[in-house]
A = this chain, B = another copy of it.
Amino acid sequence: MIRRITLKEIANELNVSISTVSKSLKDSHEIGIETREKIKAFAKAHNYRPNNIALSLKNRKTKTIGVIIPEIVHHFFSIVINSIEKFSTESGYNVIIAVSNESFEKEVLNMETLANGHIDGIIMSIAKETLKKQDFHHIKETIDLGIPVVLFDRVISEIKCDKVIVNDKQAAKEATQVLIDDNRENILLLTSEDYVSVGNLRTEGYLEALKDNDIEPDSNLIIKVKDKKGSQLEMSYLEDELEKVIKSKKVDAILGVNEIYAGSALKVLKKNNISVPKEISIISFTDGVISRYSSPSLSTISQHGEIMGERSAELLINKLTGKTSSNEFKTEIINCSLIKRESS
């Protein structure tokens, strides 16, 4: 085991001062060319690497970005992280991951740890429980400490910071319109509970499209999936409710706010021998792996996770490097796009 060599050790070995070594390695003209070269050669031979922690302490920046997400085993979030990681690395930043697991408490804890620690800024998407509680003190405190925060996807207007969102409402409206244009007027909506900001926006878009086409919304055709911890229960709730509805009501299309919901719906329809898209056509949000490999494959609304991640990282890094002022905030809106597959 070879411990990493320090400036001090090099200085001692070569009988010069630490300053001389430091300056030589920075190729400072204050140091004579001969000494400089000798020191550089020695450092190279001993594979000298500056100690980044010492640098972090000195410079008061860590070149690390913290990311807090509700879940990691999730197509959309993993795409976003991947993209954040990619962009950040290119700009010389590391990425540290924290998972809130949709829990308020864990999110607060994560923020605390990150904010005391090794990060310069935070990119996050808010946990469902936090949205429900409407308690955002931890985020505000972090911002007050001068740590820039960028919110993506699940955001709240109450917090002043950079944000990256998707035109959820518009996309849901357009998708609904596509279904209506296909002469389907009994459109069932599979959505999440009201406090989830994006689910809510998508519901609004759905309702607006109906209204524009003078279709009376039917509350029986809106299933708000209760989320229990442990998705098994969540899905069986969805399946039971859906089965009830399709047995009692005419349904000729389904709009799902995510692909898990749509995938589960597909199972229910198959079990009941309803053909997709002939009898019921489906469009869902989240362009993930389920949509591509299910059969029929699902038409989905892509939220362009890569772009979201990239923009979030860009906004944050611009703040960190002082490219943008620390008290002006932008909200970037990414346009969704509908990817047509077999289910519609």
Binding site for B on A (CB under 8 A): 1-4, 49-54, 56-57, 62, 64, 71-75, 78-79, 81-82, 85-86, 89, 94-99, 113, 116-118, 144-146, 263-264, 266-267, 270, 288-290, 293-295
Contact = CB atoms under 8 A, between A and B. Distances in A.
Copies in the complex: 2
A144 B290 CA distance: 43
B86 A99 contact: yes
Given A3-B146, A52-B117, A267-B293, 18 more contacts: A1-B144, A2-B146, A4-B145, A52-B118, A53-B56, A53-B117, A56-B118, A64-B118, A73-B78, A74-B78, A82-B99, A85-B98, A85-B99, A94-B113, A97-B97, A118-B118, A290-B293, A295-B295
Contacts of A78: 72-74, 78
The CB with the most chain B CB atoms within 10 A, among A3, A146, A295, is that of A295
A82 B74 CA distance: 11
B294 A118 contact: no
B144 A52 contact: no
A117 to B, nearest CB: 4
A144 to B, nearest CB: 6
A52 B270 CA distance: 55
Nearest to A64: B118
A75 B73 contact: yes
19 contacts: A1-B146, A2-B144, A4-B145, A50-B116, A51-B57, A53-B117, A62-B118, A64-B118, A71-B82, A72-B78, A72-B85, A73-B82, A75-B289, A85-B98, A94-B113, A118-B118, A264-B293, A266-B293, A294-B294
B52 A54 contact: no
A107 B81 CA distance: 18
B295 A116 contact: no
Contacts of A50: 116
A230 B11 CA distance: 49
Contacts of A295: 266-267, 270, 294-295
